[in-house]
Structure 1
Amino acid sequence: MSWGPDEFLALVGGTGIDEAIRAVRQLSDDDRSAAATGLRRALPRLVEDIEPAVLMVVAAGIGASPAEVVPIIRTGLLGYLMDDPEHLDLVRDSFAALGPDWALELQRRLPGRDVDWFHVWLLDELILAHDLPLPTHPGFWREWHFGDVTPRPGRRWQEHFIAACAVPNGLGWRDTDASGFLARLREHMAVLRAAEPVDDEALLRALIEVIARGDARGPQRTALIWAEGLGLDQLFWERPDLWLPALPGADAAVVARVVERLPQLDLDDDQLTMLATEVLTRPQRTPKRAVVKALERVAAPSEQLLEVVAAAAHDVDATVASRAATLLERWGHAATTVRLGLWREPTGAVVATPVVPLTEPELWAELGDLLAESGEDDPLRHEQLLAGLVAVGWDQGREAVWTRLGELLETASEKVQEQELRWLILNDRHGTSNFDDDPDGEGCRQECCHPSILADQIISVRHEVHTGEFRMWVQRAPLSEFVGWRAREALEAIGRVPCLLSTPTHTGNRVCWQEFRQRVGRFVECGQPLLPTDLLVGLARIEGIGDWADLAEVPVGEQGVGVGEVLELWLQFHPPAELRFRDAVGTVTQAPRRGVEIEGDELRAADLVGNGSSWSRTFWPRPRVHGEHAAAMGFLPAHPSRPAVEVLTRLPEVGAATTTSHLELLLGSAFQCGPVTALAAVAAVDHVTPAHRDRIAGALLAAWDEGRLSPEDLAEPWRCGWADELRLGSHQRQVALLVALAEATGLALVWPSLVALAERVAAPERPPSSAGLILETLLRFLPEVAGHVTVDLPSVAALAGRKGSSKAIRTARLVANAVQMREETEES
């Protein structure tokens, strides 16, 4: 006979630990046996209905198996018991009495991940009680290190600590109060040394292994703290034979600690060579400067050291480079010019993949997902779905399409209702439902709250089809509003028009002229006028309009306008984008911020066909007002400037991921990126991570390779003063972007930018603190441009002629000397 959940609940349900202990002790042998037999089957309910601490003392009292104890541990709710030493000792002693095999089974049941501290504590106590081998389970040691691991006699502490160090990342960063942790370590270590022998070298080797293995920064910093707290720091510095071979895996903080001690270390030439080989290949400047200075002790350098220092003579840091060059001269080995081959011409290859239309099953499946999701449009999917609906409508009729869309909306209705509040929150960023005839937006919110522009328009137009009543849709930010209007125009024309003129034929929202002509021909065949918005979008997606004489009389919309009139206006010269800077209005909690207004680069002929918008008028996106959708970014490849200004305006408000993806869409689609788009990319690096910066660099490089971004456009933000007008923050981040491009063999793209930036920072009476970095970068790439361009740096030359010893002046002199030597070499 065995107990079920009800018997356990009758015994200890609602009781405290003391009452539970008394109740278990009063059980008869038969009841105890029945409880032990039934515990496993009763556990699923008991862990829900009985406090875990109470359940654990019951399990200990009836001699439960490890298979029954582990689920109680896995609740993760035994903290109260851990703070109760008396009852904790009772649990430990009860399980210890079950013998070493019980402990070994508990060890075998360590989970693969997320090991609970109570499991580690109990197992460790049983290992000590039965003198068992220590486990090798990584999770055990990672969790062990977060407990009370200060040295204590009689607990095999040294063996434990060495085993924890052997686990990758086993010494997780454990104490924000390092000084307090150090004090406790020193105190307990003194007690341990007085009570039992300690093998300092074994402990030191274990800690150095944490560094050599390349563990994360936290564990490596913790290893240094342990070395100091255990009294091993002096031994550490006396054993370069142990720590020098570990440096390839060392974190920057460990290398910095080594460099701090360099003046006190008595390293021989071979050891200095090992140190230099590792440190001089790292990016951190301070350690490199210290190591090059320390190398002055070396009288007879090895070939390996000469090679390392020769590479350092071309370091991006001017101080490192000059010291390394001086060293080489002392050793009788002059520095040589190293060419890395970073200068090349753009490939000129445009990568445009044909867009494959969706099949009808794919169309309905994708639409079902779209209507039930709570995310923005994927721009390409938006285009494919819209084109698919128009195509099916032409084949099967308007009624068939809207009937099927109604079914999809019904299917998605439950999920739609669940997400309605979330959509309202999302729309607070992307639009507003506050209309003149519905100030609270309630009419709109009933159905039209979807963050997807296309889904929102489908819901709105479907309401009109179903009820015959006009329904307002969620108002978007200005550029996205035009995207929505184009979608609405197409949806309302389902069953009436054979296709859309503007559906991309290739990625990047490109439309082939020949395909465009064929589509116009289909409208002519069925006697339908062209859709005005569709026509404008289609023209803005064609790069290179061909012969259109035979299309001149094709009507456009209801305006009585022909395609010929539209194209004549379209092909006229229109002014490029012009920026004006103004302070945006602040709020109670936020100061005014620099805003940007743009004129030019307008969507031509929009007013002619009665479809003016922010794409065809002066555009001033307001900071902290609803932002644009991703669909607007590459929407009109011929007109990238307005989306670029939008990106520029939102930089402080949106995350790095959104900024980067918007820029990738914009840079990947624009026919000619232009200086405004380049400005947005340069400004963005102040607001994104290095990984996102590299993605932006990749998009810029691809645009240059395809002939869509010129070096002059990239340099324009510095040449014309836009960067100063916008008060861009970090020159260091801007230089990092240019360096990333140059190192990716795009030096020809960034050289004018480097020159413009260097000239700009060299000109003031007091150069900015970043001038040294910028001039160092220019100096670094000077050898690469030999034979490709004429280097003219009047402001840098003037700075080099000033009196002073600031980093900017010293580096300017190095640049001026390098330019002079280059000119002399070319003349000879």
Structure 2
Amino acid sequence: MTTAATWTPEQFRLLGDDVGRVLQGLRELSDDDRRAAAKGLSKALPSLLGELPPAVLMVLAADLGASPAQVVRIIREGLLGYLMDDPEHWRFVLERFTARGPDWARGLEGRLPRRDVDWFHVLLLDELILAHDLPLPSHPGFWQEWHFGDVTPKPGRRWQEHFIAACAVPDGLGWRDADASGFLSRLREGMAALRAAEPVDDEALLRALIEVIARGDARGPQRTALIWAEGLGLLPLLWGRPDLWLPALPGADVAIIARVVEQLPQLDLDDVQLGALAAEVLARPQKPPKRAVIKALDRVGAPSAELLEVVAAAAHDADSTVASRAAKLLERWSHAATARLGLWREPTGVVGMAPVVPLGEPELWAELKDLLAEPREDDPLRHEQLLAGLVAIGWEQGREAVWARLGELLETASEQVQDQELRWPILNDRHGASNFDDDPDGEGCRQECCHPSILADQLASVRHEVQTGEFRMWVERAPLTEFVGWRAREALEAIGEVPCLLSTPTHAGNRVVWEEFRRRVARFVEVGRPLLATDLLVALARIDGAGDWAELPQASVGEAGLPLKEVLAVWQHPVAPAQLGFREAVLGVQGFELEGEEPRVAELVGNGSSWSRRFRPRPGERGEHAAVMGFLPAHPSRPAAEVLTRLPDVGAATTTSHLELLLGSAFRCGPVAALAVVAAVDHVTPAHRDRIAGALCAAWDEGRLAPEDLAEPWRCGWVDELRLGSHQRQVALLVALAEATGLALAWPALVALVESVAAQERPPSGAGLILETLLRFLPEVPTKVRVELPHVVALASRKGSSKAVKVARLIVTALGERE
């Protein structure tokens, strides 16, 4: 080849696109050509990606001394499995990278992405760690991907250390083999070889597996932990060490509980251990384990006070078999069952909203740096704090100083983004390519790619406007989120021109206390600035406990100078409550339409949006940002309709966190929010359901959720429109509320559900269990509370011997005894 100071992309292409041919060409390079190729690889790599096969690029990178960052870019191209087809090629790459030394390997570890770690990255890094005897990574993504490689025990590869570290990653345990028996066979063979070659710490391995259960990992990893225990030959040790697995049961999946109960006849548990097992199992809803455990308690001669309390509660169990056996145990132990459990109480009325602490300047710049460099949504509260902080610093230091600093952060973020190949081309204009496409309607420009953070997108957009004077539209988002973005843009454009924001929360839940709102308005009047229109609208929807509006200073609003008193006059008019309508399904998802509960002054101050107009969330399109859920505490119904629409598309964690934000901020949660909760429990795990129940109880205690609102979805027929099926998960939610001493909150909803089931000509198969739940809690309801169940009474009078009819008759008897 012709010697050149630096190779061009075309010279690399001449080596060919076959790994064997490229290896031969590299061996034939002169020293000068090798130096030129090594020098040119960095600049040539972007144009070679997508042209040459990744296996070829990896061979070039290994032989020519590529940096860890360049290797990671190649790894992201995928298709490196072809490199493994020939052991000689893989050995060549591994030898070259190993020769780079331990620091190069540490650099490769430092390039592990936060998520979506590639299998080849893990494979290569692990080999380098073993070659240089480096500490094992703590990165969760490394271990989650490691589990899906060849993880069978092998001598000489620090396998025990690897396995224990992998088990420490939440929800990371697994395997990629559909054949469990084959996997078990390979585990046994590998473990036998490992035991023959090196000492094995069985207890350390067992403790690592038990931690998967104790931590409350998802169902799959927990069940996999038992498969691993069997394959590693640890089951005898496991069942012989109840001191290890009993404390882990609170986090155990139902399958783990079932396996424990299956072993009960063979387990040598003393009275204390049986009591601990009973305390965990009898509190769960599954009937078979409870029946087995209550039967096993026959062995206990002298129960502890804790066990007596557990069995006394079981005497009120919805399952009559468990309840009767528990009652017999109490009788044998000469302990009377309590008549009531004290589940009915009034809400506490305690409002526990923590104050929001403003960010200091060093913390603000550090937070912004992290936000811009990482592809993640901004935390709703952090979003508020950062906006408020930028406006405050701008008033103190001036507009130019703030935007100069923001420009530096954005430039740095742009370089980091390009290095990491993230799909957020911030400020690509300076590299000769625009990130905006012309709008054919002439209404501005939109970004095709977006940062998940609303604030990050607005910063990039407004910064361009500050630099060039050209208006550029921000990234288009979902309807309600668009308004959140507009409010952020208004604040950023006002940096250096206004003393503060009216709407910055003073307390958690996006609350703004009245005195602080009045003080902020006064600051605007003092400096002769008009109030920001969107900022005022958001603040009015956040004021908690408004005082006398006439006390507010006379101010003007927006560029038009609208008098504040005119805005407030409109704001104080009553607003129509939210009305939910059902539309035809779109893409198989129930459609919704919501009117009412609009911010009263939105159109007046020129801020009409989906918050103030008929709202029709659309399945299949981009979803709303988490910040929307608690953005306007006085208007929770539109976010609730969004939750309803997205239930089939998002996971349990997202649904739960959105509902917690919604329920934790709404001034009054209302029936639409209640419907979102009722529908959501069909899509979440029991652990997430309990979190939702906790948020409901908190809202009720604080006077923001009425029991009648929780019952309204059944009373008005909304639940029937959603066709929720057997309602067993809704019953489980109401049971969770009741058992958390929230029976007064759950009771109207439970009555409405039972009545709707009893009214059907043919009650569903689970009707008996639903009625049994009401019967279980009926003794807890104070006699002053009127209980009317006309449909249950009618069901009890029907002929037949179904469980629903039998339980209905028991309820009628219990009602007679109350009178």
For this structure pair, what is the TM-score category when the shorter chain's length is used for normalisation?
0.5 to 0.7
1:251-270 maps to which residues of 2 (within 5 A)?
none
Contact 2:525 2:554 in 1 (8 A): no
1:801 to 1:257, Cα distance in 2 relative to 1, 3 A: farther
Q: How does 1:153-192 map to 2 (within 5 A)?
A: 169=206
Structure 1: how far apart are the matches of 2:436 and 2:657?
Answer: 26
Matched residue, 1:767: 763
Q: Match of 2:762, as an amino acid?
A: R
Judging changes above 3 Å, is the alpha-carbon distance between structure 1 residues 732 and 362 closer, same or farther for their aligned structure 2 residues?
Answer: same
Look up the match of 2:799. 803
Cross-structure match for 1:758:
754
Amino acid at match of 2:711: A
- CA distances 1:479-521 after superposition (whole Å, capped 9, x unpaired): 1111111111122222222221111122211112121122112
- Structure 1 residue 321 corresponds to structure 2 residue 317: no
Equivalent position of 1:512 in the other structure: 513
Distance in structure 1 (CA, Å) of the matches to 2:555 and 2:187: 84
Matches within 5 A, 1:497-536: 497-536=498-537
In structure 2, what is the equivalent of residue 742 of structure 1?
A: 738
Q: State the match for 1:793 in structure 2.
A: 789
Residue in 2 that maps onto 1:492: 493
Letter in 2 for 1:812: A
SS in 1 for 2:684: coil
Identity %: 65
> Against the structure 1 CA distance between its residues 172 and 257, is the aligned structure 2 distance closer, same or farther, given a 3 Å change threshold?
closer
> Could you tell me whether the CA contact under 8 Å between 2:344 and 2:741 is conserved in 1?
yes
Per-residue CA distance 1:549-593 (angstroms, 9 max, x = gap): 35474221133421111111111111111110111333xxxx3x2
Cα–Cα, structure 1 residues 278 and 608, in superposed 2: closer, same or farther, change >3 Å?
Answer: closer
CA contact (8 A) 1:499 1:519 kept: yes
Q: Is 2:681 the partner of 1:685?
A: yes
Q: Which amino acid is the alignment partner of residue 345 of structure 1?
A: E
Query: Helix, strand or coil for the counterpart of 1:584?
Result: strand
Q: Distance in 2 between matches of 1:328 and 1:627?
A: 54
Check whether the contact 1:509–1:637 (CA below 8 A) recurs between aligned residues.
Answer: yes
What does 1:706-717 correspond to in 2, within 5 Å? Answer: 706-717=702-713
Summarize the Cα distance change of 1:605–1:733 in structure 2 as closer, same or farther, 3 Å threshold.
Answer: same
AA in 2 matched with 1:630: A
Return the offset for 1:422. 2.8
- Whichever residue aligns with residue 669 of structure 1, its letter is S
Q: 2:378 & 2:151 partners in 1: Cα distance?
A: 45
Structure 1 partner of 2:632: 636
Whole-Å Cα distance in 2 between the matches of residues 117 and 541 of structure 1? Answer: 54
2:583 partner SS: strand
Q: Name the structure 2 match of 1:458.
A: 459
Q: Give per-residue Cα distances to partners, 1:350-397, cap 9 Å, x unaligned.
A: 112222222222222222222222111211111111112222222222
Note closer, same or farther for the CA distance 1:225–1:773 as it changes in structure 2 (3 Å cut): farther
Report the CA distance shift for 1:560/1:156 in structure 2 as closer, same or farther (over 3 A): closer
Q: Deviations over 1:753-812 (max 9, x none)?
A: 111111111111111122122222222222222345222222222222222222222222
Gap regions ≥5 residues in structure 2: 1-19, 21-64, 66-83, 93-121, 125-132, 138-142, 168-174, 176-182, 211-220, 427-434
Aligned ranges 1:483-632 → 2 under 5 Å: 483-549=484-550, 551=552, 553-586=554-587, 591=588, 593-632=589-628
Q: Which runs of 5+ in 1 are unaligned?
A: 1-13, 15-44, 56-74, 78-107, 124-134, 174-214, 233-240, 426-431, 824-828
Contact 2:376 2:453 in 1 (8 A): yes
Moved more, 732-741 or 480-489: 732-741
Task: Tell me the alpha carbon deviations over residues 110-129 of structure 1, each in whole angstroms, 9 at most, x when there is no partner.
Answer: 99999998975689xxxxxx
**What is the alpha-carbon distance in structure 2 between the residues aligned to residue 476 and residue 138 of structure 1?**
43
Match of 1:671 in 2: 667
1: distance between equivalents of 2:371 and 2:499? 24
Aligned to 2:414: 413
1: distance between equivalents of 2:396 and 2:135?
Answer: 63
Residues 522 and 553 of structure 2 are in contact (CA less than 8 Å); yes or no, is this contact kept in structure 1? no
In 1: Cα distance, 2:355 partner to 2:163 partner: 51
Matching residue of 1:281: 282
Whole-angstrom CA distance in 2 between matches of 1:136 and 1:671? 52
Decide whether aligned partners of structure 1 residues 389 and 420 sit closer, same or farther in structure 2, where only a CA change above 3 A counts.
farther
- Could you say if the C-alpha distance between residues 794 and 529 of structure 1 is closer, same or farther in structure 2, counting changes exceeding 3 Å? same
Q: Distance in 2 between matches of 1:257 and 1:497?
A: 64
Tell me how far 1:746 sits from its aligned partner.
Answer: 1.4
Q: After superposition, give the CA deviation of every residue in 1:457-498 in whole Å (9 maximum; x if it has no partner).
A: 111111111111111211111111111111111222222222
Partner SS, residue 544 of structure 2 = coil
SS, match of residue 679 in structure 1: helix
Q: Is the 8 A contact 1:313 1:335 kept in 2?
A: no
Please list, as runs of the form range in 1=range in 2, the aligned pairs for 1:28-427 lying within 5 A after superposition: 120=154, 147=186, 149=188, 169=206, 281=282, 283=284, 284-289=286-291, 312-322=314-324, 336-418=337-419, 422-423=423-424
Match of 1:781 in 2: 777
Q: Which amino acid aligns with 2:320?
A: A
SS state of the match for residue 423, structure 2? Answer: helix
Partner of 1:473: 474
Cα distance change on mapping 1:731 and 1:294 into 2, 3 Å: same
The amino acid that maps onto 1:794 is P
Matched-pair contact (CA < 8 Å) for 1:280–1:312: no
Question: Aligned partners of 1:393 and 1:812: how far apart in 2?
Answer: 68
Rounded Cα–Cα distance in structure 2 between residues aligned with 1:533 and 1:111: 51
Determine if contact 2:414/2:425 at 8 Å carries over to the other structure: no
Equivalent residues of 1:169, 1:216 under 8 A apart: no
| CA–CA separation in structure 1 for the residues paired with 2:261 and 2:578 | 52
2:714 maps to: 718
What residue is the counterpart of 1:188 in the other structure? none
* CA 1:581–1:537: 2 relative to 1, 3 Å: same
Residue type at the aligned position of 1:450: H
Confirm or deny that 1:649 pairs with 2:645: yes
Q: What is the Cα deviation at residue 336 of structure 1?
A: 4.1
> What SS does structure 2 have at the residue aligned with 1:450?
coil
User: Does structure 1 conserve the Cα–Cα contact (< 8 Å) formed by 2:153 and 2:194?
Assistant: no
CA distance in 2, matches of 1:138, 1:410: 41
Partner of 2:593: helix, strand, or coil?
strand
State whether residues 337 and 783 of structure 1, in contact with CA within 8 Å, keep that contact through their aligned partners in structure 2: no
Deviation at 1:453, TM superposition (A): 1.1
Partners of 1:279 and 1:406 lie apart in 2 by: 56
Q: What is the CA-CA distance between 1:287 and the residue it aligns to? A: 4.9
Contact 1:606 1:616 in 2 (8 A): yes
Alpha-carbon distance, 1:600 to partner? 0.7
Q: Is the 8 A contact 2:437 2:447 kept in 1?
A: no
- Conservation of the 8 A alpha-carbon contact between 1:374 and 1:419: no
- Across the aligned residues of Structure 1 and Structure 2, the Cα RMSD in angstroms comes to 5.3
Deviation at 1:320, TM superposition (A): 3.3
**Matched residue of 2:586: which SS?**
coil
The letter for the 2-side match of 1:611 is: N
Larger deviation: 611-620 or 373-382?
373-382
The equivalent of 1:212 in structure 2 is: none
8 A contact 2:184–2:230 mirrored in 1: no
SS state at 1:496 partner: coil
Query: 1 CA distance for matches of 2:277 and 2:757?
Result: 33
Cα distance change, pair 167–513 in 1 and its aligned pair in 2 (3 A): closer
| SS in structure 2 of the partner of residue 789 of structure 1 | coil
**For the structure 1 residues 408 and 136, does the alpha-carbon distance in structure 2 shift closer, same or farther, using more than 3 Å as the test?**
closer
1:491 is aligned with what amino acid? L
Distance change >3 Å, CA 474–CA 679, structure 1 → 2: same
